[in-house]
Amino acid sequence: MGCGASKGKAGETEAKIEFKDIGVGSMDEFFTKCKELLTQFSETTSPLDEAKGEFFESSDFAEIPGSKPKHIIVGIILFFGTLAAGDLSKVVKFTSDAPFIDVDFSAFTGVVDFAKKLWEAMKGYALSLKKIVEENLPALLTKAEEFPNEAESVRSSCMGEFESLDLMKKGKALMAVALNIKVLAKVPMMIKNLLTKLKNDLLELKDAIMELKDNLVKLAKDALECISKKLTKPYDCYK
């Protein structure tokens, strides 16, 4: 989205992976299973992409160049402070697990519905990130790491199918299998790279929230300043 906020799709930098048709039933069936894993990979990242987009859009940071989740969190917490007369101790409670923070809306006055929308977007992003890092990608990685050996096993077990082809078709089929296995070896690393990146994103999110915990008194003062300036949006409070 040009020079705006960095809210791109989780897997958008990964090269497209394709498998060639073999013309041998057992091998094509196996590589269809590999294609299905890649589809699952794409579908796994989609909820996170949507949650991150909502997190940026709801807080008005989406079009702000260079904005990151940690900036949005500060803006949201300051905004929450404006709805609680600057007393953040009544509003937020910090936790050790995602989303790393909880919010008590009973202390709020004013646009509580908007505050709840912000909180749901923030929580949704954190929980989506946690799920993909701790559940979805590790499961896909386990499957992907088994595929290269499985491919060799399938190739060995169906040599009779290769032998039934004429010489030219057999040569092309065996070459296609070799190329597919070479491509297949890239899949685990692709998943590992994204998993590492998203683990870092989750850690950065936690660190940003724990930093707020350590600076709650200062943030409360900043929230009072936002009140005095009649600031009513997270980005306005942050800047």
- Residue 123 pLDDT level (bands cut at 50, 70, 90): very high
Predicted confidence at residue 60, as pLDDT, reads 86
Predicted confidence at residue 132, as pLDDT, reads 95
Tell me: pLDDT of 8 over 90. no
More confident residue, 1 or 119: 119
More confident residue, 116 or 2: 116
Of 38, 15, 19, 39, the closest CA to residue 29 belongs to 19
Predicted confidence at residue 11, as pLDDT, reads 53
pLDDT in tens, 125-178: 999 999 999 999 999 999 999 999 999 999 999 988 888 989 999 999 999 999
Give domain limits for the chain. Answer: 25-238
Give Cα separations from 62 to 5, 68, 97, 205 (angstroms): 5, 9, 26, 17
Q: What are phi and psi of 102, to 5 degrees?
A: -130, 155
Question: Whole-model pTM?
Answer: 0.83
Tell me: pLDDT of 5 over 80. no
Predicted confidence at residue 3, as pLDDT, reads 36
pLDDT in tens, 69-110: 999 999 999 999 999 888 888 889 999 999 999 999 888 887
Predicted confidence at residue 10, as pLDDT, reads 59
pLDDT in tens, 177-199: 999 999 999 999 999 999 999 99
Average pLDDT for 59-76:
90
Predicted confidence at residue 14, as pLDDT, reads 45
Of 131, 120, 101, the closest CA to residue 202 belongs to 131
More confident residue, 235 or 4: 235
Predicted confidence at residue 182, as pLDDT, reads 92
